[in-house]
Amino acid sequence: MKNYKMIIQYEGGRYNGWQRQGNTPNTIQEKFENVLFRMTGQKTEIFASGRTDAGVHALAQTANFKCNTDMSCDEIMSYINRYLPEDIAVLSIEEVNERFHSRLNAKSKTYEYSICAVKKPDVFTRRTVYYIDKYPDIDKMRKASQKLLGTHDFKGFSSVGKTKKSTVRTINSIEITENGSYINIRINGNGFLYNMIRIISGTILEIGLGKAEDNCIDFIFKTNKREYAGTTLPPKGLKLAEVLY
């Protein structure tokens, strides 16, 4: 069996997230597997670097699948793109070692959360940006974000319930950039808990807006309690930007 690694892109607004699950219709995984079944005539599973939640986008998700085919990579890419819906696309494809696995081999992932502070959402970016009506203090946000760097128990910054699994993760970098009325929070880490980026972004934003104390992050780490962290920002502002191997 050949193993193919793809970089893929999707606008997640219409979908129930990446992962195929029971009877939930309209997942991105299902859209791919339907096309792969059509192409190969066989049930073919596709593995992404991680599931993205309902409504979350991907600028560059990585996924792999195995199949036997005589088609070239270009031919496979053309075939898949022809049958995918127009809000999902394969950007590139290559044959890789049969042991490569998109999720298990991922070293780190980068997510972006996009916010815009204007009176009225821009009609052209409304599907992929979270709009607020007051401009936050970016310096405060940057300063607060530095407290999140490194290895911590991020349970308080997640929607994970009781679990025996580790909730310790490492954040390598957080960059907050501005472009006009747009604010972009870019976070790289070795892995993320359920809703972790959206809660971290919500917490940093509330600090920037003066709705939360600058030192609340210390307190959340100390208590590990979700209720002390900020709101879970909506999925539409979140994009999986890059997966590193």
With residue 141 as reference, give the H or E element that holds it. Answer: helix 138-146
Number of Cβ within 10 Å of residue 2's Cβ equals 15
Q: For a copy of itself, which residue of 123, 165, 180, 227 counts as binding (CB under 8 A)? A: 123
Q: Are strands 108-117 and 57-67 parallel, antiparallel or unpaired?
A: unpaired
In this structure, are residues 221 and 152 in contact, taking their beta carbons and an 8 Å threshold?
Answer: yes
Q: Which stretch binds a copy of itself (CB under 8 A): 6-14, 43-51, 61-69, 194-202?
A: 6-14
Total residues interacting with a copy of itself, rule: CB under 8 A? 21
Cα 12 to Cα 18: distance, rounded to the nearest angstrom = 8
53 is catalytic: yes
Binding map of a copy of itself across residues 63-82, x = CB under 8 A, - = no contact? --------------x---x-
**Are 28 and 17 in contact, with CB atoms under 8 Å apart?**
yes
Per-residue tokens: 201: 């972004």
Q: Tell the smallest beta-carbon distance from residue 15 to a copy of itself (Å).
A: 12
> Based on CB atoms, which residue is closest to a copy of itself, 58 or 207?
58
How far is 178 from 80, CA to CA, in rounded Å?
A: 36
Piece of 7-15, 108-116, 148-156, 190-198 that binds a copy of itself (CB under 8 A)? 7-15
Would you please indicate which residues are annotated as catalytic (active-site) residues? 53
What is the binding site for a copy of itself (CB under 8 A)? 9-11, 57, 59, 77, 81, 86-91, 119-124, 126, 128
